[in-house]
Structure 1
Amino acid sequence: MRWERIPLGPLQTNAYVLVDENGTCLIFDPGSEGEKLIQHIEANSWTPLAVLLTHAHFDHIGAVDDVRNRWSIPLYVHKKEQHWLTDPMKNGSLLFMGEAITTNDADVLFEGEDMLTIGPFSIQVLETPGHSPGSVSYYIEDAQVIVSGDVLFSGSIGRTDLPGGSYEQLLQSIHRKLLVLPEETVVLCGHGFETTIGAEMDTNPFLNGF
C-alpha cells in the first residue's frame, strides 16, 4: 500500500491518493483542479472507490464533484459539516475567495469514531475538532499513515480563528488522538510536506508545555 500527495489550487491544498497493490484507491480532500487530479489517476490506471473529506472548508472540496462524477463513487464527510458542502458562507469560499465553491450533498455521513471498511481499506476515523467542528483524521494502520487535514502540520498546527474553531480544542485533539499513535506514523498534512508523529512530539513548538 502506498500514497501520493497532489497539491491543488491556489492554496496548494494537498489531495492524497492511497493505493493498494491492485491499483484500487481512495481519494482524500480533492480541493481543486479536478481535471488535473483525474488525469493523474487515469495515467496510473488506478480505480477510485470513494472520496473522503477531513473537513469541508472550500479549499478541500472544490474538485469533489469532478472526481465523484467521473467514477460514480461516494463522498464521506462528518455529519457536523454536511451543510458546509452546499453553503459557501459556511465553507468560507465567499469570505476568502469572493466566489461560491460548493459541492453536492455527501453520500455517507458519519459521526463518532467508527472503523470504515471501503473495499480492501480499513480506515479508523478519529474525531479531531478545533480547526473546524467536524474535522476528522483518518488513521490507516496498514499503511502507517494518518491523514490529518488541517489539524497538524510539520512544525505547526491548524488555524483556529475561523467559524467553529477552538485553539484549546485543537490542542486536545492533537494530544489525545494523534500523539498517542506510533511515533513512526507518517502525518499526511493538508498543506505543506509530510512529517511524523515522533518528529512533531519532539520539535513542534505549539505542542510543548501543553
Structure 2
Amino acid sequence: MITALSLWVAGTNAWIASADGRECVIVDAPPEPWHIVERLDALGLRVSAIIATHGHLDHIGGMHDLQRARKEDGLVEVWRSPADAHYFVDPLGNAPLLADAVDRSRVTVATPEMIRDLDDGTVVRGAGIELRAIWTPGHTPGSTCLLATIGDEGTVLFSGDHLFAGSIGRTDLPGGSLEHLLASMRDRILPLPDDLVVLPGHGPTTTIGRERATNPYLQDLR
C-alpha cells in the first residue's frame, strides 16, 4: 500500500508506504501533521520511520509533531541527509517566505529528536520495505531520492523535489544549483529503468521512461 496526502499551501505529497499492513514508513511530512495522523489511525498503521527527501519547510514542518503524535509508536527515527542538517536546526527561520503560512496553534515546528544521517547508499528498513538513498544534490545540497523495494511487489522511486512529472525542482533558493541538479539527474536517476514508477514531492506520479521522453528539462541529458 502506498498512498499520498497532498497537504499545506504547497500541495506537498506526504507518502505513507506499507508492505505488511501493520507498520508504515512516511516520506516527507508537511506542517499539517494532524492529517497524516488521522490517515494512520484510519488505516490502523504504526510508524516505523520518517524520512525527509530534503530539508525545506513544506517537507519537514510536521516531523516534530508527527514523531510525538502517537505514543504507542514510541519515538520514531527521523532520517535526513547531513548536507541538509541546517534546515532542521531552524525550520521556520530557513523558510521566511513560508513561515507565516504555518498554523502555529496546531503545529509546533521544531527540530525532531532521534535524527539519523541519510547518506548516499544508506538503506532504511521498516514495514516490509527497503529504501535505498540516492543522493541527488541540486534542489538542496542534501536532496535525496529513495529507491524503495515494497515487499515482493516491486520497486518505486520517491523523488522528492528532484524530479516531477514534466518538470524538475527549482534551484533559485539558497543552496540550490541547476548544474548539480542536472548532473545528478543524468548520473543517478536517468540510468534507472524506464518502467520505474516515480512518486514525486508534488503533483502526480510518472515514470522514468515518460520523463526521459517528454520532460523538456531532460532532453539534453545524455
Within a 5 Å distance, the mapping from 1:30-69 to structure 2 comes to: 30-69=29-68
CA deviations 1:143-182 (Å, max 9, x no partner) are: 4211110000000000000111110110111121111111
Cα distance in 2 between the residues matched to 1:90 and 1:207 = 33
- CA shift in 2, pair 1:164/1:105, >3 Å: farther
Identity of aligned residues (%): 35
Determine if contact 2:123/2:131 at 8 Å carries over to the other structure.
yes
Cα distance in 1 between the residues matched to 2:33 and 2:215 = 33
Within a 5 Å distance, the mapping from 1:121-132 to structure 2 comes to: 121-132=129-140
Is 1:135 aligned to 2:143, yes or no? yes
Shift of 1:112: 2.6
Cα distance in 2 between the residues matched to 1:32 and 1:90 = 14
Match of 2:99 among 93, 97, 100: 97
Q: Which structure 2 residue ranges, 5 or more long, are not aligned?
A: 103-108
More displaced 10-residue stretch of structure 1: 46-55 or 113-122 = 113-122
Q: Normalized against structure 1, the TM-score is what? A: 0.92
Shift of 1:119: 5.2
Shift of 1:37: 0.8
Match of 2:198 among 187, 194, 202: 187
Q: Which amino acid aligns with 1:60?
A: H
Shift of 1:131: 0.2
More displaced 10-residue stretch of structure 1: 139-148 or 71-80 = 139-148
More displaced 10-residue stretch of structure 1: 172-181 or 6-15 = 172-181
Aligned to 2:105: none
CA deviations 1:109-165 (Å, max 9, x no partner) are: 132322233353211110000000000000013442111100000000000001111
Within a 5 Å distance, the mapping from 1:71-110 to structure 2 comes to: 71=73, 72-88=75-91, 91-92=94-95, 94-98=96-100, 101-110=109-118
Determine if contact 2:136/2:144 at 8 Å carries over to the other structure.
yes
Q: Which structure 1 residue ranges, 5 or more long, are not aligned?
A: none
Q: Normalized against structure 2, the TM-score is what? A: 0.87
The root-mean-square deviation of aligned C-alpha atoms, in Å, is 1.8
Within a 5 Å distance, the mapping from 1:149-168 to structure 2 comes to: 149-168=160-179
Shift of 1:106: 4.9
Cα distance in 1 between the residues matched to 2:65 and 2:179 = 36
